[in-house]
Structure formats: structure tokens, C-alpha cells
């Protein structure tokens, strides 16, 4: 009901062999669940859950606390005939600043199809000379994006070479979903001055300024003499 009652989230096609089981202490039991490929089951992805709840009577009073144990098992079904696959890069969150390089990147993907997809891909950062300085992997946990849904994937960029060259760095993101061979791409250029170079520049400017002041004072003393 509610949020679950969507086009690709109906679970009436799941039929467990029984709605109630009795377990003794320490006992294990398996139950079968039938997936009905009915005519009214639309093509694409369908998602449901089996929810198990302890319905044994538990007495409680003021001095005791009762625990209601519930666990669930996710069921993912894909009806191949008429399945539509689609993955779109909705946005990319990146904190840009010229004085520091942010080693984190967060793409947000949108599933435009009717079945679940698993995003794949990588991110690379190239310096002005074309060398790869950072690299990261998209979706290392192999999690899926459900139809009609959005999902963010925070990526940590690992350094491969020291970023010591000032200028424009190119952030390149390539992505696809499992089963697709062609990669889609996204590129962004960011201006970056390495901190050590910035410090050296400021230090050099400071030394030059002090030297200029000292030279001006010495020039005045020499002229007065």
C-alpha cells in the first residue's frame, strides 16, 4: 500500500505455500514461494518482500519488555519479454575550489527503464599534461537502481600521481549498466593550483616584496649621504 503501490512494485504475483508455520526451539524449515507469470503481470521488473513475523502470544507486564521480531527477504523478478533498460546520469555533485582538489565525487543516476539495472564505470582525473592523477570506481558494491528511481553513488578518488602542475584538470566519468557494452561519458574541467605551488608563490612574493622595500630604503639612505 502507499509508496509500494506503484507500476513496477506490485507483489500479488508471490504466493507462499503457507501463510503460517510452527517452529520448535532450534528447528529449521524451508518454504516454497511460487512466482505466477500471469497475463496481467506487465513486462519489466517487479519487486516484493516476504515478511516473517512471530505471532506467538508474548505476555508482558510492567517489569518486562516484550520483543516483536520481524525479518524480511527481498524478491526481485524480471519479466524479460518487453523489458526496457535505461540509465541516465541525472547530476554530478562536486565541490570545486581552485586552492584544493576535492577527492570525492557523487553522481546521481536515474533508471529510465522498467527493470532494475546495476551501474558500472569509473572516474579519472587528468592534469594539464594528460597524466591520470586520480581514479575512482562507480558502484563497487554492485547495488541496483530500481525503475522510476534515482540513486546517488559517492566515489572516493584515489591518487595515482602527485598533482603538482597548475592549470585546468579534466574530470572524466564513464558509465554504463550491466549488460551494456557502450559507455556513456561526462566531462568537467576544473582549475586547480597545487597547495605547495601556492605556498611557494606566496613565499616568493613575500621575499620579493621585502627585498624591494629593503632596496628602496637603502637607495634613500645612499641618496641622503
Residue 140 · residue 201 · CB < 8 Å: no
Residue 3 has pLDDT above 80, yes or no: no
What's the angle, vertex CA 119, arms to CA 86 and CA 171, rounded to 5? 105
Average pLDDT on 146-168 reads 89
Residue 179 has pLDDT above 60, yes or no: yes
Per-residue confidence (pLDDT) for residue 121, from 0 to 100: 95
Residue 220 or 116, more confident: 116
pTM above 0.75, yes or no: no
Residue 6 has pLDDT above 60, yes or no: no
Q: Among candidates 47, 40, 42, which has minimal Cα distance to 9?
A: 47
Per-residue confidence (pLDDT) for residue 37, from 0 to 100: 84
What b-and-e string marks burial along 40-49, b requiring 16 or more CB atoms within 10 Å of the CB?
eeeebbbbbe
Per-residue confidence (pLDDT) for residue 195, from 0 to 100: 64
Amino acid at each position: 500500500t502507499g509508496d509500494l503501490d506503484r507500476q513496477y512494485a506490485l507483489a500479488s504475483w508471490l504466493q507462499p505455500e503457507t501463510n503460517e508455520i510452527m517452529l520448535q526451539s532450534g528447528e529449521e524449515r524451508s518454504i516454497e514461494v511460487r512466482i505466477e507469470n500471469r497475463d496481467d503481470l506487465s513486462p519489466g521488473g517487479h519487486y516484493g518482500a516476504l515478511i516473517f513475523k512471530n505471532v506467538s502470544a508474548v505476555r508482558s507486564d510492567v517489569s518486562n519488555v516484550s520483543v516483536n521480531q520481524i525479518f524480511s527477504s527481498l524478491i526481485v523478478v524480471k519479466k524479460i519479454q518487453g523489458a526496457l533498460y535505461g540509465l541516465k546520469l541525472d547530476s554530478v555533485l562536486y565541490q570545486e575550489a581552485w586552492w584544493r582538489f576535492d577527492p570525492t565525487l557523487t553522481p546521481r543516476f536515474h533508471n529510465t527503464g522498467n527493470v532494475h539495472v546495476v551501474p558500472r564505470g569509473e572516474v579519472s582525473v587528468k592534469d594539464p599534461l594528460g597524466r591520470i592523477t586520480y581514479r575512482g570506481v562507480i558502484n563497487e558494491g554492485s547495488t541496483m537502481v530500481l525503475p522510476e528511481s534515482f540513486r546517488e553513488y559517492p566515489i572516493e578518488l584515489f591518487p595515482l600521481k602527485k598533482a603538482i602542475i597548475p592549470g585546468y584538470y579534466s574530470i572524466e566519468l564513464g558509465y554504463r549498466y550491466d549488460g551494456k557494452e557502450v559507455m556513456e561519458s561526462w566531462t568537467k574541467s576544473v582549475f586547480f593550483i597545487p597547495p605547495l605551488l601556492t605556498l611557494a608563490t606566496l613565499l616568493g612574493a613575500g621575499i620579493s616584496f621585502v627585498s624591494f622595500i629593503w632596496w628602496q630604503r637603502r637607495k634613500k639612505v645612499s641618496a641622503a649621504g
